[in-house]
A and B are shown apart, each in its own frame.
Chain A
Amino acid sequence: MKRTLLFMTIFCFLIGFSAVVLAQTSQGQNLYVSPKILDDYRITIDGEKKDMEKLKVLVEESRSKLSEYEAIVAADRDIGAELKKQLEEDHERYLIASGDAAVKGPGVVVYIDDGKRELESWESPNDILVHDQDILLILNDLKAAGAEAISVNGQRIVDVTSVSCSGYTVRINGQFFARPFRIQAIGDGSRMSAALIGPGGYGTELKDWGLIFKVTVTDDILIPAYTENHGYRSMQAVAQ
């Protein structure tokens, strides 16, 4: 009897011990993960590498600027002229990027309207109407194809612009617009139009649904400035 008890105790210890060891090696996670998790890690690592490449370009740009300045200072020449040139360059590109000024250039004009065809009995009117998500996807495709400035029905698209459906109208930058929609984008016209109307392009998809979708490549597009105020209530720059 006593011997059995002793053995029981020892084995209980052993089982408890192995459970602890098991729990420790798994560190509260599953011991095994699916291959997808590893793929996700690899993609994220690739992403960080890509991001680092971009940062290196930034560093290179600043470094050459700095050495230029230092060369001027070392040669005891007037740095004012060089500085003015640099500031003017920065002024122009960040002004365009902020959307606070009208811009012009070559690009595409996209025209989208609700479908005019009769509905089949199983369809709903939604199938041939333009939705906010359609506009979002087209804007996204244009951006992916390198659009530098975009407007929808005359509203400049900036970083905080949302395109929201509100009943029969779409709200952009706090203003309401109804169909048809006219999207202008400055950039490489042939690349942007190919992205939209090529096979698998979103424009082709909309046409297949029976919506009206036209793309025109043109040399002369004028996109107005963002009309709202860039007032920031919540965010502030991080002091270096």
Chain B
Amino acid sequence: MKNKSGIIVIGVLALLIGLLISVQIGTAKSSDVGGLIPVSKAASLEQELKEQRAEKEAIMQEYLDLEERLKTIEEQTSSEDALLQSMGSDIEKYKMSAGVVDVKGPGVVVTVDDPVPTEENPGDGYSTIMLRYDLLLALVNKLKDAGAEAISINGQRIVTSTEISLAGENVNINAVPTAPPYKIKAIGNPDTIESTLTIRYGIVETMRNNYALRVNISKEKELTIPRYSGVIKFRYAKLAEEEE
């Protein structure tokens, strides 16, 4: 009798293990069932993204080196010319306001991600924050209102000409496609910015309560924001004083 009860226990356990193994194999094979995909596929894309970013970093470094060499020549030549010198320092000042300089300072990092997928709302195929990109626009506006001096979204510097627009299935920022999670960096007074965003019935509460978006705000002592990656050129606008 005692032996039999042991056999029953073993039998049940063996059944459980068998079930466990078959479930694992089953779900791993049928990746299209239920629209789920093994995490390894995502990992390979993550790797590709990392490589892409490293490559971009290398090009950025090349650019900075070239600029450094140009600057050396310019400084050598203009060292005796007061006019050229003052022009050079003016340009540096304008470049800062134009957003073509990497900057650092204290500020906040806001991350916005789509709602956690649930049974009723699996979130397949569409992204809440991408469809409601006007929330990003409103968020950026609030950051500026709170005195942010430089802002970037997923590495795209917000300059005067920056648009956030739904183009097909992508949200383009500076004509570069972006996707969630959105990481918005802003340099400014961290406390002011944080309390402006988290005010009751404010932008963050709206995003969380009305759209179930996952919003996280963290204050940082120092963060860096990259320069605008495009070339600044004007085809239509001319300086107005020129005719005087």
Binding site for B on A (CB under 8 A): 1, 3-4, 7-8, 11, 14-15, 18, 22, 26-27, 29-52, 54-59, 61-63, 65-66, 69, 73, 79-80, 83-84, 87-88, 90-107, 132-133, 136-137, 140-141, 143-144, 147-150, 157-164, 186-188, 222-223, 230, 232-238, 240
Interface of A is mostly: helix
- Chain B residues whose CB sits within 8 angstroms of the CB of A32 once the complex forms: 27, 31, 36-39
**Interface assignment of B52: CB less than 8 Å from any CB of chain A:** yes
Instruction: Select which of B63, B126, B138, B177 is within 8 A of A58 by beta carbon.
Output: B63
In this assembly, does B124 line the interface, its C-beta being within 8 Å of a C-beta of chain A?
yes
- What residues on A are CB-neighbors of B212 within 8 Å? none
Write the chain B residue with the least CB distance to A230: B97
A83 touches B77 (CB 8 A): yes
Q: A58-B231, A100-B94, A104-B237 are in contact. Are A4 and B2 (CB under 8 A)?
A: yes
Which residue in chain A gives the minimum CB-CB distance to B142?
A162
Known: A50-B175, A87-B78, A234-B106. 17 other contacts (CB 8 A): A15-B16, A18-B20, A18-B21, A36-B127, A41-B46, A57-B230, A80-B77, A91-B94, A100-B94, A101-B239, A141-B165, A143-B163, A144-B172, A149-B237, A159-B158, A234-B149, A236-B105
A33-B36, A88-B87, A159-B97 are known contacts. Are A40 and B179 too (CB-CB below 8 A)?
yes
Tell me the nearest residue of chain A to B187, going by C-beta.
Answer: A235
Q: What is the minimal beta-carbon distance from B183 to any residue of chain A, in angstroms?
A: 11
How many residue pairs link A and B with beta carbons under 8 A? The number is 326
Tell me, in angstroms, the Cα distance from A51 to B137 when the chains sit together: 21
Contacts of B31 in A (CB 8 A): 32
CA distance A158 to B96 in the complex (A): 12
Are A58 and B229 in contact, CB atoms less than 8 angstroms apart? yes
Which has the most chain B C-beta neighbours within 10 Å: A1, A97, A222, A237? A97
**Nearest CB in chain B: distance from A186 CB, A:** 5
> A148 to B13, Cβ gap below 8 A?
no
B33 nearest CB across to chain A (Å): 10
The verdict on A79 contacting B148 (CB below 8 Å), with A87-B84, A107-B236 known, is: no
**Contacting B91 at CB < 8 Å: which of A29, A91, A99, A159?**
A91
By a CB distance below 8 angstroms, the chain A residues around B134 are 133, 136-137
Inter-chain CA distance A29–B156, complex, in Å, is 28
Contacting pair B125 A35 (CB below 8 A): yes
Given known contacts A58-B231, A230-B96, A236-B103, A186 and B237 CB-to-CB distance under 8 angstroms: yes
* CA distance in complex: A147, B127 (Å): 28
Given contacts A96-B239, A101-B241, A235-B187, contact A83 B78 (CB under 8 A): yes
Most chain-B CB neighbours within 10 Å: which of A51, A52, A222, A240? A51
